[in-house]
Structure 1
């Protein structure tokens, strides 16, 4: 068995930053490498979740500063982010997926579905779901 790998679904948002921080901490604890995956939904010409090069460079630098080996994969997705994450986990033999969560209303979850819920239910490996701390969580 090779180096342990952790997959982090990264987007340049507070949720993505929380996931990156949790992935870095897990990588340090486990002596693991991180596979950072950033993908677009592919359903719009401009997607704020699709990181630019400066954002990817900053994320990579934060991991490397902590001594974590990192590989970055970025692609315009098929519109199914959960599928992209699960496929990346299977193709890269990862042992853990780390996701950031955002607060959504029950109606919002019902109408729009939930990428995180699908990953939690369909992932072949454990999933660490991280939420952004709010002032109430302190």
Structure 2
């Protein structure tokens, strides 16, 4: 079986997204220990923000990785996988930082949402391009 050329790009972006999710989950655990809250957010704003930062990343990253995987399997070039992975990762990091600092609207949160949606649109269009004969 031949190796998929974009497979290394997919592996890179998958690993970075997994590390991001792990880091965000560790922030939740740290806040839980700091405030002695075992379940829920206990009314602690910092914990609520950490929970939502992890939750939001958990909601958006999986489908982004599915898109990157499908793009790789469709035979897209490395560059396409790198673009999708980079934009998604940058968006998720920006959003997580913005949301971790405050539950209020912020430029980082807005940029993170915009980059995430841009990655989704890029992946959808690229997948349609590679899906059509």
**Which category of TM-score, normalised to the shorter sequence, fits these structures?**
under 0.3
Task: Decide which structure has greater strand share.
Answer: 1
The alignment's TM-score, normalised by the length of structure 2, stands at 0.26
Q: Which has the larger radius of gyration?
A: 2
Q: Normalising to structure 1: TM-score of the pair?
A: 0.26
Which structure shows the bigger proportion of residues in helix conformation? 2
